[in-house]
Amino acid sequence: PTIHDQKLHRGAGGELHQLAEDGMPVLTTAQGGPVSDDQNTLRLGARGPALLEDFHFREKIFHFDHERIPERVVHARGYGAHGYFETYESLAAYTRADLFQRPGEKTPAFVRFSTVAGSKGSFDLARDVRGFAVKLYTQQGNWDLVGNNIPVFFIQDAIKFPDVIHSVKPEPDKEFPQAQSAHDNFWDFITLTPESMHMIMWVMSDRAIPRSFRFMDGFGVHTFRFVNAADESTFVKFHWKPKLGLQSVTWNEAVKINGADPDFHRRDLWQSIQSGAFPEWELCVQLFDQDFADAFDFDILDPTKIIPEEILPVKPIGRLVLDRMPENFFAETEQVAFMTQNVPPGIDFSNDPLLQGRNFSYLDTQLKRLGGPNFTHLPINAPKCPFHNFQQDGHMAMRNPVGRVNYQPNSWNQGPRESPVQGYRHCPAEEQGSKVRLRPESFADHYSQARQFYISQTPPEQRHIAAALIFELSKVETPVIRERMVSHLMNIDETLASKVGHALGFKSMPKPADAAMPTRQDLEPSPPLSIIER
């Protein structure tokens, strides 16, 4: 029989599908060839050797062998959803970003929530920071606000990122512990890095064990800039506030939930969206100028600091609604590529040295993880506005220039052109200075905001912080590391320090830590100690 004799079914796009004997579509190879037998390899006789010419078998196994891509080097375990962002009012006075011009404007969005330290298969309720990465498909290209559920970070300079992440990930010889901060390497790094003290107080708080993604904040962390049509800039901090409010679990609950249902958070997001209870966040901003920034003792470029909302209240500017789960986890949630450098005209960077480093890291890592330069050809990463450029070729190129012209300027009057008016213009900030590797003095206070955070907590929340510190530090085997942490706590809150020291069995309290970054000499006892202790 020829194809014309087969049972055929016309698909939604008008295409003809061959139907198998039972009326279902015929199974095909990736090349579209119909398959007759998917249960048995081609063999020489029923009990004989398999034949190399079995192209269906080879293609099927080859494809299976290549199913895995590298998991993200951080934030490997994540869960995403689609939705939209709705603008409340025009912000034209502050930014020329198209998505903020018209009240009621809806911008498609994709959000991926994640833990940071654990591998892709780790459990949801680890004590950890949560990623809150938002991709907004604006009419001027994608804007990625790649944030966390904690408003500050461990380090002030991106050059320290491999160190902080190596220290929190499983130790290289043991390959454990998995997805927890409770180990010597992590606390060793943290206690040798006083700038992490503010963040560590948040990580020891209930914020690090959220009840679900629906009950947590998101923060852009860094100071960014809004830039208006006149190229005037305003500093901006971004906050996502959950409509349901903040909720966490206790550590006792977290441990039980992890044992009973390691997928607790992803199940919660799936079930709420499938049942029509769409989670919602308000995007709020803190807007300020250089004079306001200069009035603080700390630096607004320092990502270990917040601007207290009591001093500068947040202004709601829109809402994010998540109303649709991906059809395919891998195609969307796993392959989505967030990059801090994705900003539309009207949004710009500050000189925060962590942000500046991130702007290199994300493009670099996507190139490796997604296997080449064409990851924007994947539907989840492609802009939803018209786009035109002369990029071509490379692995898996799905789009190439059409016609003769793949460069400009050209004499054929073809192809896209740059536009000084509509195109991205960097904020013309005046900069000058010598080339140095130097942390400014304005980045030096590591304890004041850690203390303010602790004091701002209710008594039960303060008890949870103390319990978390006692639990975590009791897992630390090297005494000097425990002592070092308590000596930092002395600078944050003496009562907290003595509670923790007491529970750890200290006979006397250590001196408050020296606030300065430790020098080589200070570190001298460390290498021999770590060898002896093990």
Q: Which is nearer to ligand HEM, 105 or 128 (CB)?
A: 128
Number of residues located near ligand HEM, criterion CB under 6 A: 27
Catalytic residue of the set 148, 342, 374, 381:
148
Minimum CB distance to ligand HEM, residue 249 (Å): 21
CA distance 138 to 104: 14
101 scored as a contact of ligand HEM (CB under 6 A): no
CA distance 63 to 476: 44
Query: Which part of the chain contacts ligand HEM (CB under 6 A), choosing from 1-9, 140-148, 376-384, 490-498?
Result: 140-148
For 493-528, letters b (16+ CB in 10 Å) and e give beebbebbbeebebeebbebbeeeebeeeeeeebee
Catalytic residue of the set 56, 75, 82, 239:
75
> Side chain identity at 113, as an amino acid letter?
F
Q: Which is nearer to ligand HEM, 78 or 501 (CB)?
A: 78
203 scored as a contact of ligand HEM (CB under 6 A): no
CA distance 138 to 144: 10
Position among 341, 365, 406, 498 found at the interface with ligand HEM (CB under 6 A): 365
122 scored as a contact of ligand HEM (CB under 6 A): no
Q: Which is nearer to ligand HEM, 157 or 323 (CB)?
A: 157
SS3 of residue 239 by DSSP: strand
Say which residues have a Cβ less than 8 Å from residue 54's Cβ, sequence separation at least 6.
41, 42
By CB neighbour count within 10 A (0-12 exposed, 13-18 middle, 19+ buried), where does 295 fall? Answer: exposed
Position among 79, 100, 153, 226 found at the interface with ligand HEM (CB under 6 A): 153
262 scored as a contact of ligand HEM (CB under 6 A): no
Contact 77, 115 (CB under 8 A): yes
Q: Which is nearer to ligand HEM, 243 or 369 (CB)?
A: 369
Nearest residue to 353 (alpha-carbon basis) of 305, 306, 307, 302? 302
474 scored as a contact of ligand HEM (CB under 6 A): no
Is 148 known to be catalytic? yes
Long-range pairs, 466-470, Cβ under 8 A, ≥24: 466/496, 466/499, 466/500, 466/503, 467/251, 468/127, 468/204, 468/205, 468/251, 469/204, 469/496, 469/500, 470/499, 470/500, 470/503, 470/504
266 scored as a contact of ligand HEM (CB under 6 A): no
Minimum CB distance to ligand HEM, residue 186 (Å): 16
Position among 83, 118, 147, 326 found at the interface with ligand HEM (CB under 6 A): 147
240 scored as a contact of ligand HEM (CB under 6 A): no
Per the annotation, binding residues are 72, 112, 161, 358, 362, 369
By CB neighbour count within 10 A (0-12 exposed, 13-18 middle, 19+ buried), where does 64 fall? Answer: exposed
Q: Which is nearer to ligand HEM, 214 or 358 (CB)?
A: 358
73 scored as a contact of ligand HEM (CB under 6 A): yes
Q: Which is nearer to ligand HEM, 449 or 462 (CB)?
A: 449
CA distance 135 to 144: 4
Neighbours of 313 (CB within 10 A): 9
114 scored as a contact of ligand HEM (CB under 6 A): yes
Per the annotation, binding residues for heme are 72, 112, 161, 358, 362, 369
In the complex, which residues of this chain contact ligand HEM (CB under 6 A)? 72-75, 78, 112, 114, 131, 133, 146-148, 153, 158, 161, 221, 303, 336-338, 354, 357-358, 361-362, 365, 369
Catalytic positions are 75, 148
